[in-house]
Amino acid sequence: MEVKTIEIRDSATFIPALAIKLKPECEEDRYLLARAGYGLTPQDQSNYILLLDLNGGEGRYNCDPHGWAGPATTWYEAHQWLENNWTDISSGDVLDVEHEYGRTPKPKLSERLTNI
């Protein structure tokens, strides 16, 4: 598995998140992911990214960008962007959906840098 922490930002929004790209590293991983419904082969399984809301143990998660219930545009856009651009982001980076989808000219800085 590949795991990254992501700071998701949108208009007046800050979301600490954890993203996991399913990439089985052994036969046991592949088998368990297959039994869980993520496809039979490592290639099929690596198409999935689990996105988790890091919210003190109370967060939501989803493996499908379309699965975010309610008015979850931020979650949908962040999840879809991660599926299409996984290699373009590193653990700890900011994913500014407003900027990535062309609604603002400049990406937001991390709150880690601006809330000192």
What pLDDT, in 10s, does the model give residues 56-107? 878 899 999 999 876 668 999 999 999 999 999 999 999 999 999 999 999 9
Q: Which runs of E-coded beta strand occur in the chain? A: 2-10, 13-21, 49-53, 61-62, 94-96
Number of domains in the chain: 1
What residues make up the domain containing 78? Answer: 2-114
User: Residue 114 — pLDDT band, cuts 50, 70, 90?
Assistant: confident
66 class by beta-carbon count within 10 Å (0-12 exposed, 13-18 middle, 19+ buried): exposed
The predicted pLDDT at position 20 comes to 98
Prediction pTM value: 0.91
Contacts of residue 37, defined as CB under 8 A and 6 or more positions apart, other chains included, come to none
Strands 94-96 and 61-62: unpaired
User: Residue 14 — pLDDT band, cuts 50, 70, 90?
Assistant: very high
What CA–CA distance (Å, rounded) separates 105 from 8?
Answer: 17
Share of the chain above pLDDT 90, in %: 85
